[in-house]
Structure 1
Amino acid sequence: MKKSTLINSELSYLVATLGHTDEITICDAGLPIPDEVQRIDLALTHGVPSFLETVKVIMSESQVEGVVIAEEFVTVSPKHHDALVKQIKAESEATGKSISVTYVSHEEFKCRTVNSRAVVRTGECTPYANVIFQAGVVF
Structure 2
Amino acid sequence: MKKAGILNRHLAGAIAELGHGDGVLVCDAGMPIPAGPRVVDLAFRAGVPSFAEVLDGVLAELVVEGATAAQELRGTNRALLEGHFEDLELVPHERLKELSAGARLVVRTGEARPYANVLLRCGVFF
Question: Is the shorter-chain TM-score for this pair beyond 0.5, marking a shared fold?
Answer: yes
Q: Indicate the RMSD between aligned Cα atoms, in angstroms.
A: 1.2
Q: Which residue does the alignment assign to 1:18?
A: 18
Q: Which residue does the alignment assign to 1:36?
A: 36
Unaligned runs of 5+ in 1: 90-98
Aligned mate of 2:91, from 89, 104, 111? 104
- After TM superposition, which residue ranges in structure 1, 4 or more long, deviate above 4 angstroms? none
Q: Which residue does the alignment assign to 1:5?
A: 5
**Structure 1's 62 and 45: CA in aligned 2 closer, same or farther, altered over 3 A?**
same
More helix by share: 1
Residue 138, structure 1, aligned to residue 125, structure 2: yes
**Pairing of 1:55-134 with structure 2 (within 5 A):** 55-77=55-77, 81-86=78-83, 88-89=84-85, 99-134=86-121
The 8 Å contact of residues 80 and 116 in structure 2, kept in 1 or not, is answered as no
So what's the TM-score if we normalise by structure 1? 0.86
The 8 Å contact of residues 24 and 118 in structure 1, kept in 2 or not, is answered as yes
Q: How many residues align?
A: 126
% identical equivalent positions: 41
Alpha-carbon separation, structure 2, partners of 1:22 and 1:85: 22
Unaligned runs of 5+ in 2: none
